[in-house]
Amino acid sequence: MSDAVEIFCDGACSGNPGPGGWGTILRLGNNEKELSGGEPATTNNRMELTAAIAGLAALKRPCRVVITTDSQYLVKGMTEWISGWIRKGWINSKKEPVVNRDLWERLLELTGIHTVEWRWVRGHDGHAENERCDELARNAIGKL
């Protein structure tokens, strides 16, 4: 997918909940942009979702996008679980309200603009972009 925008993203938390950060790399061909940010009181899962949202929100027009993350929560949420949550009125398999609904809805809105492929990679396993996103996320925590 050489004409696709690549988004690499990761979230981190110091304590869960606790201060958290996220990091995102956007790449199209040889052009690359890094984004990061954090929140003083959050969860790791919220930071994982926020990293993907930030990457998609940075795109200026509809694109083909490949999102690579080490978060199975994010990938499975978007590829397996979300349609059931919506069908059941945002109730999960435990018959409880879906956690982080606000972020899932924002992610759903943004993925509706683009053609998105989700890819999972094992975290902390030498994947260069994933390692860099983790570094961006952890540095963002340090700036809080």
Catalytic residues: 10-11, 48, 70, 124, 134
* 48 marked among binding-site residues: yes
Torsions phi, psi for 106 (to 5 deg): -65, -40
Per-residue confidence of the chain (144 residues) as pLDDT tens digits? 468 999 999 999 999 999 999 999 999 999 999 999 999 999 999 999 999 999 999 999 999 999 999 999 999 999 999 999 999 999 999 999 999 999 999 999 999 999 999 999 999 899 999 999 999 999 999 999
- Is residue 10 annotated as involved in ligand binding? yes
Identify the structural domains of the chain with CATH numbers, from first to last: 5-142 (3.30.420.10)
| Burial (Cβ within 10 Å: 0-12, 13-18, ≥19) of residue 68 | buried
pTM of the predicted model, to two decimals?
A: 0.96
